Amino acid sequence: MGRGDLVVAVVGATGAVGREMLKTLEQRDFPAKTVRALASARSAGTTVPFKDGELTVEELTEDSFKGIHLALFSAGGATSKKFAPHAVKAGCVVVDNSSAWRMDPAVPLVVPEVNPQDVDWHKGIIANPNCSTIQMVVVLKPLHDAAKIKRVIVSTYQAVSGTGQKAITELETQVRQLFNMQEPEAKVYPYRIAFNCLPQIDVFSTGDYTFEEIKMIKETAKIMGDDEIRVTATTVRVPVFYGHSESVNVETERKLTAAQTRAILVQSPGITVLDNPSEKIYPMPIQAAGEDDVFVGRIREDTTIENGLNLWIVADNIRKGAALNAVQIAELLIERGRLTA
C-alpha cells in the first residue's frame, strides 16, 4: 500500500477544531483513502461535513483504531490520555492537539516551520503545541537563527474560539443581552467577556502565572530546542471571535535592525509581513481569520535596550493554531517517511 491508502481518523470531529481539521484535510487534498469521524457517544450518529458530502460520526472506543494509520486528536486532555495509548497500540500514529503530552520528554512537540526534524523520533504520539505558542515561535525561529534570542516578553490578546463553541456562543449572547438592556450571563468565563478583557486564561498556578502562560514559557524552549531562551508571558482573553494577537518584545545577542528583521521574516515560511505604518498597514484578527499564515507587523527597534525588537503577531488560532499545524505535521510524517499505510 502507498500513501493514497492511508486511513485517517479525526477524534473530536464535532468540535470547532475537529471540524476545521476535516476542512483542512479536504482543502490540502491530504492523501487519505478513507477519513473517519470519531467523537463521544452523545455525538455518535450525527454527521459532519466533508468534501461534497458528510461523514457519520462514530463513537470513540478503545477499539476504534483498528485499521487506522493516523489519528488527529482534538477532544481534550482527558480523552487523549485515555485513548491515544490504545491508538498507538493498534499501530496508529497520533497527532494530539491537547496539552496532555506536550511536555512529555518522550513526545515530540512540533511546529513544522520550526522543528520538522523532531517528528523523526516519535514513538507513536506527536503533540501539537498551544495555539498562542505556535504563532509566536513561527516568527521567533528565523530571528533566533539570525541573531540568537536571549529573552521574550509576550502579552496575548486571545479570541474566545480558543475556549470552544460554548465561548463563541456566550460572547454572541452577551452582546445581544447588553444591546437589549439585559444583564449578561457569564457561564464559560468567570466574568462577562463582551466589551471586556479578562487577564486570566486557564487556572492560576505557581507564582500566580496561569497555565496558559506556563505553557507558552515551557513549550517555547522545547520547540526551539534552547532552554536558555527566557520567556515571560501575560495571556488575556478579549472579545474577538477568531484570531489571537500578541505583542512580543525580543532581546537578541546580536543586533537586528527593523529593516533586517523585515527582510528575514519576508523570506521565512508560513509568515506574511504586513508592516507599513505610514499607510496604516498592520495585522489584525479580521485579516488572519481563515488564513494559513502567521501575520507580523509593527516591527520596530526597542530603544530601551541594546538589541531589542517589538513585534505584533496575529494568526487564526483555530486554523494555524490548531487544525492546520496538525495536518502539516501529518504531511511532514509522510514526507519524511514516518507514516505509511
Q: Which residues are catalytic?
A: 131, 244
The Cα–Cα gap between 22 and 98 comes to 17
**In Å, how far from its chain's centre is CA 129?**
6
Residue that the C-alpha cell 488564513 belongs to = 291
Question: d(Cα 65, Cα 84) in Å, to the nearest integer?
Answer: 10
b/e per residue, 303-329, with b = 16+ CB within 10 A?
eeeebbbbbbbbbbbbbbbbbbbbbbb
Three-state SS for 13-63 is CCCHHHHHHHHHHHHCCCCEEEEEEEECHHHCCCEEEECCEEEEEEECCCC
Q: What are phi and psi of 123, to 5 degrees?
A: -115, 30
What is the SS3 assignment for 137?
helix
Determine the Cα–Cα distance for residues 73 and 335; give it in Å rounded to an integer. 21
Q: Which helix (H) or strand (E) holds 271?
A: strand 271-273
- Amino acid 49 reads P
Residue 35 β-bridge partners: 8
A 10 A CB-CB count for 223 gives 25
Pairing assessment for the beta strands 47-50 and 53-59 based on DSSP bridges: antiparallel
Residue 68 has, within 13 A of its CA and on its CB side, a CA count of 29
CB 216 within 8 A of CB 130: yes
Alpha helix (H) ranges present in the chain?
16-27, 77-89, 131-147, 165-179, 211-224, 258-266, 285-288, 324-335
Residue type, 43: S
